[in-house]
């Protein structure tokens, strides 16, 4: 049973055996290859040339679509923050609206789980490589969205009187700092905890901070 010509062309293209001159959607293909390669080799080990090789294209072709290597990595980081925000949002939505402490715990647990699920991507997102200068404004927006999930959950708690009034931003950043620091310290093996216990131990470390946020 012969394949339809259009499907055939698809396959040939994906195998990089195509003779067609244009790629079709090189930016997308490069992002996909980059995501796999970053996960496999780490953010440091990633090279533009290998990504181009995987896609089956001359390495110089990447520069038609991305200003440089960092721009491609920034696109990846942006996708990462979107995924992170979505996972945090989904984790919050799974908990009853009036259980605000549960919602905060769930959001922060999702943050830490993401970091450990995708260490190289998380490293890219939070490392010094991309956030140095004022480039990549869309990246900044994606970051804000992710911490917005946290802030919304916290505000709900303050309105219900579960948390003391005061700066929502301050409380959000205290929680985010603790969760982020915990994730980093686990990833770099400065906190030793079995993979299966990572979420549980986050709860333990979070406890005194949550207690301190409650009304006097």
Partner DNA sequence: ACCTGAACACCGTTCAAGT
Measure Cα distances from 200 to 70, 114, 140, 197 in Å: 36, 15, 30, 5
Q: Which of 112, 130, 132 is nearest to 181 (CA)?
A: 112
Nearer CB in complex with its own copies: 110/171? 171
Q: Site for DNA (CB under 7 A): which residue of 12, 61, 93, 185?
A: 61
CA distance 73 to 121: 9
Q: Site for DNA (CB under 7 A): which residue of 8, 28, 64, 141?
A: 64
Q: Site for its own copies (CB under 8 A): which residue of 190, 194, 196, 215?
A: 190
Nearer CB in complex with DNA: 30/143? 30
What element of type H or E holds 57?
none
Q: Which of 125, 142, 123, 124 is nearest to 186 (CA)?
A: 123
Interface with its own copies: number of residues (CB under 8 A): 41
Q: Which of 180, 201, 175 is nearest to 104 (CA)?
A: 175
According to the binding rule CB under 8 A, does residue 39 interact with its own copies?
no
List b or e across 153-170, with b for residues whose CB sees 16 or more CB atoms inside 10 angstroms.
bbebbbeeebbeeeebee
Tokens of residue 68, six digits: 């440089």
Which part of the chain contacts its own copies (CB under 8 A), choosing from 32-40, 52-60, 101-109, 123-131?
Answer: 123-131
Inter-axis angle of helices 69-93 and 26-45, nearest 10: 90
According to the binding rule CB under 7 A, does residue 47 interact with DNA?
yes
Which part of the chain contacts DNA (CB under 7 A), choosing from 19-27, 142-150, 167-175, 199-207?
Answer: 19-27
Q: Which does 50 bind (CB under 5 to 8 A by kind): DNA, its own copies, none?
A: DNA
According to the binding rule CB under 8 A, does residue 180 interact with its own copies?
yes
According to the binding rule CB under 8 A, does residue 203 interact with its own copies?
no
According to the binding rule CB under 7 A, does residue 65 interact with DNA?
yes
Q: Which residues bind DNA (CB under 7 A)?
A: 21-24, 26, 46-50, 57-61, 63-65, 68-70
């Amino acid at each position: 049973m012969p394949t339809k010509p259009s499907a055939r062309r698809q396959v040939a293209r994906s195998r990089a055996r195509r003779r067609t001159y244009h790629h079709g959607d090189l930016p997308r293909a490069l992002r996909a290859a980059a995501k796999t390669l970053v996960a496999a080799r780490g953010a440091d080990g990633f090279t533009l040339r290998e990504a181009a090789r995987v896609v089956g294209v001359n390495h110089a072709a990447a520069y038609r679509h991305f200003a440089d290597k960092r721009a491609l990595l920034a696109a990846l980081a942006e996708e990462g923050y979107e995924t992170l925000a979505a996972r945090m949002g989904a984790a919050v939505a799974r908990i009853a609206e009036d259980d605000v402490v549960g919602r905060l715990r769930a959001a922060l647990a999702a943050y830490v789980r993401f970091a450990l699920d995708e260490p190289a991507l998380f490293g890219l997102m939070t490392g010094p490589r991309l956030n140095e200068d004022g480039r990549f404004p869309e990246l900044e927006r994606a970051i804000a969205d992710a911490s917005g999930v946290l802030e919304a959950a916290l505000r709900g708690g303050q309105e219900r009187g579960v948390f003391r009034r005061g700066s929502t931003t301050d409380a959000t950043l205290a929680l985010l700092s603790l969760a982020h620091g915990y994730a980093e310290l686990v990833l770099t093996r400065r906190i030793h905890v079995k993979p299966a216990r990572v979420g549980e131990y986050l709860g333990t470390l979070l406890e005194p901070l949550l207690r301190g946020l409650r009304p006097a």
